[in-house]
Amino acid sequence: MPRTAFFISDGTGITAESLGRSLLAQFENVEIRMITKPYIDTVEKARALADIIATTAMRDDEQPIIIDTIVDEAIREVIRGAIGFKVDIFSTFLKPLEQELGTHSSYSVGRTHSIGKDEAYMDRIQSVHFALDNDDGARTHQYNKADVILVGVSRCGKTPTSLYLALQFGIRAANYPLTEDDLDEDGSLKLPKALARHRHKLFGLTIDPRRLAAIRHERRPNSRYSSMDQCVQEVEQAEGLYRQMHIPYIDTTRFSVEEISTRMIAETGLSRRFSPR
């Protein structure tokens, strides 16, 4: 039977889930069913959740793993009494920090992901809007405002990477698809005019043609667009352009969007407007 892990918070649950998933990802041989429970912000909700945890323990015949970021002491007391192996993130880390810093924590609910007076929140929203407005070569006249312009063949990961860069780091990312319209007379790709003046901002994405064909097949099955020959040709042409124009690029085949983004930042030296939350 798989083990069950509960990520519990009296706020959004993002911190508990992010840290919990990172910790549990280290145990590849254990099947774990993960459940996030945000906004457990009253004793009544905590007691109801404790009952669910108890039922889960009986069903699994194993105590669940409980990872929480509960701030309210009364609610924390209820969760402490639940049946499970508990990882209390705040008590684990805040107490030693209080001793080191010589002051008490504010113990404010939702402080990490609140808006407050944080100007980074507006940067985040504006960057996401920029990524959406400049997706798939939509508004090339705005490229002077871009921090980076992702280029690559269709379905190689440009859009999700652009949005992740915006949401997590406040980086204004546009993206431009390389298509047959950009072919030169000899059949090789040429740098589109819209990109030529922004060459220093370009970053290429490539992908294994077999993976690309599988992704495209889900979108347009049994089409020329998803055929292996077409995918091989487009990827070879794109990589040839990158090498010819000295455009840095990364193979997205085996990397998550998080890895693609952070590797890109490390390679290009892009400035983050804020740290990921």
Q: Residue 273: how many CA atoms within 13 Å on its side-chain side?
A: 21
**103 among annotated binding-site residues:** no
**231 among annotated binding-site residues:** no
CATH number at residue 241: 3.40.50
The predicted structure's pLDDT at residue 123: 83
Asked if residue 275 is part of any domain, the answer here is no
Query: Among 101, 135, 150, which residue terminates a domain?
Result: 101
Query: Among 101, 132, 163, which residue terminates a domain?
Result: 101
Residue with tokens 């992702």: 150
For residues 165 and 244, state if they share a domain.
Answer: yes
For residues 94 and 123, state if they share a domain.
Answer: no
Query: Among 69, 101, 133, which residue terminates a domain?
Result: 101
Residue 125 and residue 147: Cα distance in Å, rounded? 15
Asked if residue 274 is part of any domain, the answer here is no
The predicted structure's pLDDT at residue 122: 81
Total number of domains constituting the chain: 2
Pairing of strands 85-88, 148-152: unpaired
**Computed from CA positions of residues 94, 99, 105, 107, in that sequence, does the dihedral angle turn out positive or negative?**
positive
For residues 155 and 227, state if they share a domain.
Answer: yes
For residues 126 and 263, state if they share a domain.
Answer: yes
For residues 93 and 123, state if they share a domain.
Answer: no
Best CA proximity match to 7, nearest among 48, 40, 29, 30 = 40
For residues 40 and 128, state if they share a domain.
Answer: no
- Number of Cβ atoms within 10 Å of the Cβ of 245: 16
Asked if residue 16 is part of any domain, the answer here is yes
Asked if residue 106 is part of any domain, the answer here is no
Asked if residue 114 is part of any domain, the answer here is no
Pairing of strands 3-8, 32-37: parallel
Q: Do 168 and 276 form a contact (C-beta atoms < 8 A)? A: yes
Asked if residue 276 is part of any domain, the answer here is no
Helices (H) and strands (E) in the chain, counts: 10, 8
For residues 124 and 219, state if they share a domain.
Answer: yes
For residues 33 and 128, state if they share a domain.
Answer: no
For residues 168 and 235, state if they share a domain.
Answer: yes
Range of the domain at 13: 3-101
User: Which residues lie closer than 8 Å to 62 by C-beta, 6 or more apart?
Assistant: 1, 3, 4
Mean pLDDT by 10 residues, the chain (277 residues): 92 88 92 95 96 96 95 92 91 83 71 56 87 92 96 96 93 94 81 94 98 96 96 96 96 94 93 70
User: Cα 45 from chain centroid?
Assistant: 30
Q: Do 242 and 202 form a contact (C-beta atoms < 8 A)? A: no
For residues 208 and 169, state if they share a domain.
Answer: yes
**271 among annotated binding-site residues:** no
**155 among annotated binding-site residues:** yes
For residues 169 and 259, state if they share a domain.
Answer: yes
The predicted structure's pLDDT at residue 232: 97
Best CA proximity match to 162, nearest among 174, 147, 180, 145 = 174
Asked if residue 124 is part of any domain, the answer here is yes
**137 among annotated binding-site residues:** no
Amino acid identity for residue 197 in this structure = R
**158 among annotated binding-site residues:** yes
For residues 60 and 170, state if they share a domain.
Answer: no
Q: Residue 78: how many CA atoms within 13 Å on its side-chain side?
A: 22
